[in-house]
Chains A and B, each alone.
Chain A
Amino acid sequence: SGELMDLIRTEGQRMTAAQPSETTVGNMVRRVLKVIREEYGRLHGCSEESDQQESLHKLLTSGGLSEDFSTLYPTLRANVIEAINELLIELEGTTDNIAMQALEHIHSNEVIMTIGYSRTVEAFLKEAARKRKFQVIVAECAPFCQGHEMAVRLSKENIETTVMSDAAIFAVMSRVNKVIIGTKTILANGALIAVSGTHTLALAAKHHSTPLIVCAPMFKLSPQFPNEEDSFHKFVSPQEVLPFTEGEILGKINVHCPVFDYVPPELITLFISNIGGNAPSYIYRLMSELYHPDDYEL
């Protein structure tokens, strides 16, 4: 199984190198690696060492060092395939799991704010709309204006929706009870990489002491830390910001169109995922459950 893990690891490295901003790919590879390790450990019979993390305890008790994955077990393959199937089922059910928690968090006659378009948040709000009446304000999230799409879908479910520009976020914030957003990635320290404009929304919410709830499935949790400020940024064509038809001015200015924003963990109140609700400071624990420390650097 050592060879299997190496194979998976090289494939994972290739895929993440191709598109570094899509961290989900790397996350799933790490999940699979952990599954393999667990199954191997179970068969190997050392269930006392079921906690494979580094810890002070381990420092003191174990004489030997890391285990060696070379022994062959014929049933290992079947076990791993079964575990991966379980993983697949979990993945398919994530949106429903999150939506099921909606009723606990949304109450009647509340004003909820969101930004851009997120399928998770859409499912969340739709589920709550079946039993409660509330209003939603959607920030349109220029330059792609995905907020419009979100508003259309929500209003189809008879939820009172208002669309406004990003510039008005702070102005309206005093009327808002809760902010619910989706995200692209969750980082190891509890921070977010989300659509650009989210940081502004988070700061406005903090200023008014409005709770900021992030709905995201666990496969978006990535063990990376935000060490280089610009390593996560993805820029796209500035066509959206300033169209190419404005010919003359283009030679004299620099136009940037970043896609993502970094939101620090202090601004977030709660993470709602398929495993339940968690505080940002608890993220390290979830990470240790999902991934093995040796896999953090793929």
Chain B
Amino acid sequence: LLGFLKQARGETIQGLRSSLLAAIDTLSRVDSSVAVSSGGELFLRFISLTSLEYSDYSKCKEIMIERGEIFLRKVSLSRNKIAKLCHPFIRDGARILTHAYSRVVLRVLEAAVESKKRFSVYVTESQPDQAGQVLINLQKMAKALRKLNIPVTVILDAAVGYIMEKVDLVLVGAEGVVESGGIINKIGTNQIAVCAKAQNKPFYVVAESFKFVRLFPLNQQDVPDKFKYKADTLKTSQNLTEEHPWIDYTSPSLITLLFTDLGVLTPSAVSDELIKLYL
């Protein structure tokens, strides 16, 4: 998006804004993801805030670009911040359950390894439903963990209930964090959360702050279709009820704590943060 801004040739702020919107639209249409759309919206907000202050257009554009760089930098630092906050919660000898591939979770586990903690990880297969991709997805997370010398066990998605009694805590990433404090993440997360609650295991979520999204789903149906299915599926399929969704919504009552670059938050604190932003 920043690159696009640099190249934009619009002469008015309005023109710039609408072309940016179009860019975000195209991005989301290619491979819809909650994080992309929330990141895009935040960037837009960012821009609109600037435009109120300066009347000279070209100067405005420069400031925007500068701010964009700062934004980018802050966002890349956020993963390290989160890792620093989260790793004290992992005890020596802990057994962690995680789901699908998440770079933030990986960073947290790296930080825990650096602070000389020994623990083992169970990773779910997180089966996508398309054949052929199976092996790729399976190995990404497990390989990365093995490189860090952490003992890893890959388990079936269906085996979560079976393994829950052996596990000490559950740590997942999030594709989006919604206003109620719940999360949107790879399909299967809701199940893990429910099992964890049933057996009284803490369920921790790690997410960067740009993933906070202005949605308030009350149930699974409320999550917009464009996030649930891949873009080409939306275009080609006739009947959406026959397609498998890629993400699900986990309600805040199942989450113990959220680790973000804004600090350690309880799910009820999330909506407060969102309000502060969109004030």
Contacts and interface: CB of A to CB of B under 8 A. Distances in A.
Given A225-B257, A227-B88, A54 B262 contact: yes
A276 interface: no
B76 interface: no
B272 interface: yes
A294 to B, nearest CB: 11
Nearest to B86: A227
B153 interface: no
A59 B74 contact: yes
Interface stretch (B13-21, B63-71, B183-191): B63-71
A228 B262 contact: no
B277 A56 contact: yes
A61 B266 CA distance: 25
Contacts of B74: 59
A199 to B, nearest CB: 13
B89 interface: yes
B241 to A, nearest CB: 36
B273 A56 contact: yes
Nearest to A64: B70
Interface in B43-94: 45-46, 49, 66-67, 70-71, 74, 88-89, 91
Contacts of A53: 276
Interface stretch (A68-76, A78-86, A243-251, A280-288): A280-288
Nearest to A230: B91
Main secondary structure on B side of the interface with A: helix
Nearest to A54: B262
Give the interface centre of A60, A227, A282 by most chain B CB atoms within 10 Å: A60
B209, B212, B256, B276 — most chain A CB neighbours (10 Å): B276
B175 interface: no
A56 B257 contact: no
Interface string A186-199: 00111000000000
A284 B49 contact: no
B215 interface: no
Contacts of B264: 188, 225
A227 B89 contact: yes
Given A189-B257, A227-B89, A55 B277 contact: yes
Contacts of A188: 264
Given A57-B277, A57-B279, A285-B272, A63 B66 contact: yes
B125 interface: no
A258 interface: no
Given A63-B67, A227-B89, A293-B263, A56 B276 contact: yes
A54 B261 contact: yes
A60 B266 contact: no
A60 B257 contact: no
A56 B210 CA distance: 8
B269 interface: yes
Nearest to A283: B266
B49 A60 contact: yes
Contacts of B262: 54-56
A51 B279 CA distance: 13
B269 A284 contact: yes
Contacts of B67: 60, 63
Nearest to A229: B91
Contacts of B279: 57
Contacts of A285: 269, 272
Interface string A34-71: 00000000000000000101111101110100000000
A188 to B, nearest CB: 7
Contact of A282 (B46, B265, B268): B268
Contacts of B277: 55-57, 60
B194 interface: no
A64 to B, nearest CB: 9
B268 A60 contact: no
**Max chain B CB contacts within 10 Å: which of A59, A63, A281?**
A59
Contacts of A59: 71, 74, 209
Contact of A56 (B91, B209, B268): B209
B276 A55 contact: yes
Nearest to B269: A284
B42 interface: yes
11 contacts: A54-B261, A54-B263, A56-B42, A56-B273, A60-B67, A61-B49, A188-B264, A225-B89, A281-B266, A281-B268, A284-B266
Given A227-B88, A284-B268, A285-B269, 19 more contacts: A51-B276, A54-B262, A55-B262, A55-B273, A56-B42, A56-B212, A57-B276, A60-B49, A61-B49, A63-B66, A189-B257, A225-B257, A225-B264, A229-B91, A282-B268, A283-B266, A284-B269, A284-B272, A293-B263
Which 8 residue pairs of A and B lie closest in terms of their CB atoms, listed nearest first? A56-B277, A281-B268, A284-B269, A55-B276, A60-B46, A227-B89, A54-B262, A57-B277
